[in-house]
Structure 1
Amino acid sequence: MIVRKKILIVEDNEINRMMLYGILSSDYQVLEAENGQEALSVLKQYEEQISLILLDIVMPVMDGYTFLSIVKKDPAYSSIPVIVTTQNDGESDEVAALSHGAADFVVKPYKAQIILHRVANIINLRETAAMINLVQYDRLTGLYSKEFFYRRAKELILAHPERSYDIICSDIENFKLINDVFGMPAGDRLLRGLADLYTTMVGNHGICGRFNADQFSCLLEHHWEYEDGAFIQATETINTLSSAKNVVMKWGIYSVEDRSISVEQMCDRALLAARSIKGRYGTYFAAYDDALRNKLLREQAITNGMESALARGQFEIYLQPKYRIKDDSLAGAEALVRWNHPQWGMQSPAEFIPLFEKSGFITKLDQFVWDRACAVVQSWDEKGYPPISVSVNVSRADIYNADIADILVKTVRKYRLPPSRLHLEITESAYTENPKQIIDTVGRLRELGFVIEMDDFGSGYSSLNMLNQMPLDILKLDMKFIQVETAKPVNQGILRFIMGLARWMNLSVVAEGVETRDQLVRLREIGCDYVQGYYFARPMPCTKFETLLRERGLASKAEESSSVRPLGKRRGQVILVADEDEEYRAEVRRMLEGRYQVAEAADGDAALSCMAGYEYKLAAVILSMTLANPDGLSVLEVLQREKAVWKIPVVATGPWDKLLEQQALQMGADDFAGKPHSQLSLLKRVQRAVGVNSSWERECALRDEAYRDYLTGLLNRRGLDYAVEALRKEDEPLAVYLFDLDNLKQINDQYGHVEGDQLLVQFSGLLRSHTRATDILARFGGDEFIVVIKQMGTQQIALKKGEDICRAVRESSFAKAIPATASAGVAVWNTEDPLDTILERADEALYRAKRENKGGCLLWRG
């Protein structure tokens, strides 16, 4: 529906109003008023929606001339055209009307065609003028618009070749903050005040324009040399405005010497000069000179060459080693990009990365780095090196790419790697820009199995509440933060607080930029997990890192045990032979010699204990179905239930029996070797099982980094959630315990955090010794531990087990050195209720135990 233009008729004679209404109502929406006072009320209601006013001069209450005088003085109404109507066609009346601001003059009686033509013409003229004005002038400030400023400046420069001109542009450093804190109206008032300042400053010696947001420009005749004083005074004047709060202005000047370039380029150069001093306290203006020109040309050359550089293979990745602080072992690497230009040589990322971020090319470069990092990791796997993870940077622009998850998943699948081998570093400042979108995107990546690191933690302004919402696995402390904090006395600074916060949130901590041994010692004292920096190694080419990897090694050594026969290694893997026949085990051991380490078990209990002890180091199990205590099928059942934690390929053995073979395969065995069989046949089956299930090795990093508590080695909350998924099919009730080490804060204060951490480690060891390998142990955060014990017959048995563990703590050797006790609450779980509900019940029982039976265990009874 077309909206008709509004016309206001101001006429005291009702018949005349009716005549005008009849002439105009078919083409316009007609509003009416009997006198000037009433017309002002109509104007106040509709303002600029009114396209034209037909005004009688002689009226009661307020005549036409008085009304005209009021309207033309008010900026809200002054642009509305007015046609004066009168019965007198004298020249003096027409002059009087036009002098008061009327656009036209008509005489009564009204002639319909004349009225319609004049109304239409004047409305068209007004709309055309308004469009021109809109194009020429900035609506908020009244200064020239950007395009019209360029045009007028060009005309002035060409018209006066004898005059010297300068282009002066300004930028407000913290304008976005002003809008965010004080609101858009305050920001608009500030911009209007700045426009007034420009107009006063330029006077009759030039022209002014507003470009966008807080950027202003003027063309000014050059009459004096510029000094700080003038710009300081201008900034002080701005800060006297009611809407201004600590406004910081930066000014850039371009002296118009080369008149062949466009005014747009001149303004760009002035703005470049202004931006070059952003963040420099006490510097108010900068002039565009050869240094800035060369910088501009350099940046343009970098931008022009980036696409071809990627196509020609000039970018390469360097790797900076990351070390585990507790034993100085090599634990991973961070992938960094370098540009090896054929003419310029090796380029600093600090020079080209900001330009790539600005241009958007950073997304292509990041994807290149992700691809090369995965290719390198795959090559290490193929050469038999132990598995490590590599961290890669994810830029802000990547986060806003709707396809980022698909791109990353396709990349790791291309190289047959689990997502956990690729750690994604997202800078802290990125989290503050659009928290919800960042949380949603990163949460999705974390669900897919990628390990998330918050990079440069300590350099930005993330609130603790926001940090608590972020989907994170690792905090990476900012280099400058490390250097400042480690220089403070041990009892000062906030590093220890950050470590405590990370432990409470089950996060690992990486410190980057470690350059001295003193920094390393300090970080080790407070329990930091990983470090990287020049003290250990600078970023290096992949070939050099591979040499380092080969020399130092990575994998945790297999636990020494009497049942392990170190008959040679293949990628550090261990094969468990669980068979009741000692001679058979010896034959298998000889067959595997030079290929794997071998662990042996003669019954089911020994097999389960061995699997729990070796955890992720087992490459495969050769499992006899005729084992005893328990039998092989029972062991398979445990493995099937615990596959969320133990994903170990199994080659089942036993007499040639179709039913037994079918049962073994249904219970999760990967293959079945009927006895008797040749050792070569068994070797092929083992190698096939290991090859098909080689994800055990690639998933090691994920479990180590993301599913395990860094201090105790128990599952963290994420690992607990993952492990309990396998419990949904449990028929027998489970006992869920929540243990709390009493008075740990006082112990930390009295004996120190190192002793407190040692107590946590010792308590976790005690829990292991009082539970089965198939039970689930997790550190819930701080001094709280969760234990899920299976096949718990009655509530009384569950309570007794909890009391036994609490008593064991009181009687332990470590409790003699440091008075330590543990309280516990227990709830019985049938797996139908959510785990969080059961934990709330156990927590309720724990709270009651700490109040009524401290150092003991109580049962939740509802």
Structure 2
Amino acid sequence: MGGEYAGRKDMMVYIALCDARWNIRKVIRSIPACLAREGQDAREIFTDQDCLDRLMQKSAGGSATQRLKLRGADGRMAFATVKAVKEQVLLLVYEMEDKSQLPQMTEAQLCALDELPGMNTGPYGNEFYEIQKMNNRLVDSKRSLAKANMQLKETLEQIRKAENIIEILERDPITNLLTEKAFYEKADRILKENPDQDFDIIAVDIERFKIVNDAFGTAAGNQLLCDLSACLLDVGGGELSLSARIRADLFAVLAPHQEARYKSLEDSLGKFADSYSLPARIEVKAGIYRIEERDISTARMCDRAFIAVESIKGIFSKRLAYYDDSMRRKMLMEQKILDTMVESLLREDFLVYLQPKVQLGTGKMIGAEALVRWRHPELGMISPAEFIPVFEKNGFIYSLDMYVCRKACEILERWKATGMHGIPIAVNVSRMDIYHGDLPEQFGKLIETYGLKPQDLHLEITESAYISDSQQLLAVVERLRDSGFVVEMDDFGSGYS
């Protein structure tokens, strides 16, 4: 072993951990080669076997250093330092030729000390190791927490972006009010969360809005919608209020019930319509449904508010209407009419009665007027006042008018067969019929089919029809008169004359 170091001039460092009997348990550092291996007695490194025992006694709980002669190294001397570490001993054997090797020596010693905690041999023994483990866990926890915080931050950012997207999807792109679906969902939630608060649904509609788009363009129509939506935002107000554009020109507002609100709403809508900057009359109608049945959907609540709106359309003097059950019954009746009108016409449930026309001076009957009644299989006799407005609105009136004309022609044909001549029958022509360009031809075919003359069938047109589309009507009347039909004005003087 000594021969390995003969004549060597470079630095030598040997660091080992020994037990109390100097048996080497672990070689920590050996430069340039191993003085002794693990399991050997460290005292065999030196010529004096008891030198380490004496050094240990000198250390007195700290450390002690002495220059000793190495075994078999031709009398080469080296420094030996011992230090008690718990129940073990740290042994350092080192030799330097010059001071420039001091940093390397210091580094080697520090590295040895750094390795002690990992071997349960630190100044606090096992406790030091446990502290180190706890510290490592704390560092790991901090790292995990930092990572979790970063993930949470990213998640919150994703949620914020998702909420922004949802908010965009819930808003009408033209007015920035809620969409129909979003309004129903949020209104349902507000109503459930506030069971003791009274609420109203306010429906708002612009009459003849399509004319605005047709006459002034879509941009003007969209601007009208935006301006009205700004007006409606003032109607509700507060956390429990919502405003939405349901579809087209229909708006809805959910607001806590306040009687004083509606006088203000009526005035506001009046000022809006009267002062709006379009060269056309703007009519805005509002319907109010006070929510009494909370077990129905918000969509049905809105329907009831819109029923109230429909009840005042065309009435110039009214801008506001309150829903009541009579409106609902009327709506249900109209729906029943719509559902059964075609089948009833095919079954000839519509009956034609004749009202005589008498000459006042002589009492002689000079003609008759055909009147229609509906003998409904479920509802019984229905007045024309109930079904005629519905038919005029949906266009079915043309089919009914042609049916009545055909029935009148059948009666005239029977009269002529029995020798009755010169008693014409007048039939009503709806203002909606004039939009059928082939109306004169249709009447001509009827007359020809039943072998009649045009003078046998008088056509009565209400005076209101002349106002709704005078140019179209006058053109049709002129063609009818040219064909020989007698055209009369019905309800003369009752309206516009």
Seen in structure 2, the aligned counterparts of structure 1 residues 192 and 226 have a Cα distance that, compared at 3 Å, is same
Amino acid of the residue matched to residue 137 of structure 1? D
Among all aligned residue pairs of Structure 1 and Structure 2, give the percentage whose two residues are the same amino acid.
Answer: 42
Seen in structure 2, the aligned counterparts of structure 1 residues 303 and 183 have a Cα distance that, compared at 3 Å, is closer
Amino acid of the residue matched to residue 200 of structure 1? D
Amino acid of the residue matched to residue 230 of structure 2? D
Please state if 1:243 is matched with 2:277.
yes
Please state if 1:384 is matched with 2:390.
no
List runs of 5+ in structure 2 lacking aligned partners: 1-163
Cα distance, 1:350 vs structure 2: 0.9
The SS at the match of 2:321 is strand
CA contact (8 A) 2:276 2:282 kept: no
Seen in structure 2, the aligned counterparts of structure 1 residues 237 and 385 have a Cα distance that, compared at 3 Å, is closer
Distance (whole Å) between structure 2 residues aligned to residue 437 and residue 281 of structure 1? 25
Please state if 1:288 is matched with 2:323.
yes
CA contact (8 A) 2:463 2:489 kept: yes
Amino acid of the residue matched to residue 186 of structure 2? L
Distance (whole Å) between structure 1 residues aligned to residue 202 and residue 389 of structure 2? 26
- C-alpha distance after superposition, 1:339-393 (max 9, x if no partner): 1234543321111111121222212211110011011011111111132211111
Cα distance, 1:256 vs structure 2: 4.6
Which of 332, 356, 368 is equivalent to 2:367? 332
Cα distance, 1:236 vs structure 2: 5.3
* Aligned equivalent of 1:218: 252
Distance (whole Å) between structure 1 residues aligned to residue 297 and residue 185 of structure 2? 11
Which of 162, 166, 170 is equivalent to 2:204? 170
Cα distance, 1:310 vs structure 2: 2.0
- C-alpha distance after superposition, 1:508-545 (max 9, x if no partner): xxxxxxxxxxxxxxxxxxxxxxxxxxxxxxxxxxxxxx
Seen in structure 2, the aligned counterparts of structure 1 residues 365 and 281 have a Cα distance that, compared at 3 Å, is closer
* Aligned equivalent of 1:274: 309
* Aligned equivalent of 1:421: 456
Alpha-carbon RMSD across the aligned residues, in angstroms, is 3.8
CA contact (8 A) 1:235 1:247 kept: no
Distance (whole Å) between structure 2 residues aligned to residue 457 and residue 138 of structure 1? 49
Cα distance, 1:394 vs structure 2: 1.3
The SS at the match of 2:179 is helix
Distance (whole Å) between structure 1 residues aligned to residue 169 and residue 468 of structure 2? 33
CA contact (8 A) 1:366 1:395 kept: yes
* Aligned equivalent of 1:402: 437
Please state if 1:200 is matched with 2:200.
no
CA contact (8 A) 2:287 2:305 kept: yes
Equivalences for 1:765-780 in 2 at 5 Å?
A: none
Please state if 1:444 is matched with 2:475.
no
Seen in structure 2, the aligned counterparts of structure 1 residues 435 and 239 have a Cα distance that, compared at 3 Å, is closer
Seen in structure 2, the aligned counterparts of structure 1 residues 427 and 150 have a Cα distance that, compared at 3 Å, is same
Distance (whole Å) between structure 1 residues aligned to residue 264 and residue 492 of structure 2? 41
Please state if 1:150 is matched with 2:159.
no
Cα distance, 1:239 vs structure 2: 5.9
CA contact (8 A) 1:217 1:267 kept: no
Equivalences for 1:636-675 in 2 at 5 Å?
A: none
- C-alpha distance after superposition, 1:67-86 (max 9, x if no partner): xxxxxxxxxxxxxxxxxxxx
CA contact (8 A) 2:461 2:488 kept: yes
CA contact (8 A) 2:266 2:320 kept: no
Amino acid of the residue matched to residue 162 of structure 1? E
Cα distance, 1:283 vs structure 2: 5.6
CA contact (8 A) 2:232 2:243 kept: yes
List runs of 5+ in structure 1 lacking aligned partners: 1-128, 463-862
CA contact (8 A) 1:193 1:241 kept: no
* Aligned equivalent of 1:230: 264
The SS at the match of 2:330 is helix
- C-alpha distance after superposition, 1:134-189 (max 9, x if no partner): 995253xx244xxx622111221343422365321123568799999999998876
Seen in structure 2, the aligned counterparts of structure 1 residues 438 and 136 have a Cα distance that, compared at 3 Å, is farther
Distance (whole Å) between structure 2 residues aligned to residue 226 and residue 294 of structure 1? 28
The SS at the match of 2:436 is coil
Distance (whole Å) between structure 1 residues aligned to residue 470 and residue 334 of structure 2? 31
Equivalences for 1:671-750 in 2 at 5 Å?
A: none
- C-alpha distance after superposition, 1:553-587 (max 9, x if no partner): xxxxxxxxxxxxxxxxxxxxxxxxxxxxxxxxxxx
The SS at the match of 2:252 is strand
* Aligned equivalent of 1:433: 468
Distance (whole Å) between structure 2 residues aligned to residue 327 and residue 458 of structure 1? 25
Distance (whole Å) between structure 2 residues aligned to residue 133 and residue 434 of structure 1? 44
- C-alpha distance after superposition, 1:295-351 (max 9, x if no partner): 222222222222232233321111121233454432111111011234543321111
Equivalences for 1:775-794 in 2 at 5 Å?
A: none
Please state if 1:323 is matched with 2:358.
yes
- C-alpha distance after superposition, 1:183-241 (max 9, x if no partner): 9998876654422111222334433234567x442332425346653334423552674
The SS at the match of 2:277 is coil
The SS at the match of 1:194 is helix
Distance (whole Å) between structure 1 residues aligned to residue 216 and residue 267 of structure 2? 24
Distance (whole Å) between structure 1 residues aligned to residue 344 and residue 274 of structure 2? 51
Structure 1 range deviating more: 170-179 or 310-319: 170-179
Seen in structure 2, the aligned counterparts of structure 1 residues 223 and 384 have a Cα distance that, compared at 3 Å, is closer
Distance (whole Å) between structure 1 residues aligned to residue 350 and residue 257 of structure 2? 50
Distance (whole Å) between structure 1 residues aligned to residue 200 and residue 348 of structure 2? 44
CA contact (8 A) 1:388 1:421 kept: yes
Distance (whole Å) between structure 2 residues aligned to residue 351 and residue 424 of structure 1? 22
CA contact (8 A) 1:143 1:208 kept: no
Please state if 1:305 is matched with 2:340.
yes
Amino acid of the residue matched to residue 377 of structure 1? L
* Aligned equivalent of 1:645: none
Distance (whole Å) between structure 2 residues aligned to residue 239 and residue 434 of structure 1? 24
Amino acid of the residue matched to residue 380 of structure 2? G
Amino acid of the residue matched to residue 170 of structure 1? V
- C-alpha distance after superposition, 1:266-290 (max 9, x if no partner): 3332121123245668765333232
Seen in structure 2, the aligned counterparts of structure 1 residues 211 and 331 have a Cα distance that, compared at 3 Å, is farther
CA contact (8 A) 2:180 2:247 kept: no
Distance (whole Å) between structure 1 residues aligned to residue 277 and residue 483 of structure 2? 48
TM-score normalised over the length of structure 1:
0.34
Which of 376, 385, 395 is equivalent to 1:360? 395
Distance (whole Å) between structure 2 residues aligned to residue 370 and residue 461 of structure 1? 27
Distance (whole Å) between structure 2 residues aligned to residue 393 and residue 222 of structure 1? 49
Seen in structure 2, the aligned counterparts of structure 1 residues 324 and 152 have a Cα distance that, compared at 3 Å, is same
Amino acid of the residue matched to residue 159 of structure 1? R
The SS at the match of 1:417 is coil
CA contact (8 A) 2:334 2:390 kept: yes
- C-alpha distance after superposition, 1:442-485 (max 9, x if no partner): 332222222222323334447xxxxxxxxxxxxxxxxxxxxxxx
- C-alpha distance after superposition, 1:794-826 (max 9, x if no partner): xxxxxxxxxxxxxxxxxxxxxxxxxxxxxxxxx
Cα distance, 1:243 vs structure 2: 3.0
The SS at the match of 1:375 is helix
Amino acid of the residue matched to residue 217 of structure 1? F
* Aligned equivalent of 1:534: none
Please state if 1:348 is matched with 2:383.
yes
Distance (whole Å) between structure 1 residues aligned to residue 407 and residue 306 of structure 2? 38
Seen in structure 2, the aligned counterparts of structure 1 residues 236 and 416 have a Cα distance that, compared at 3 Å, is closer
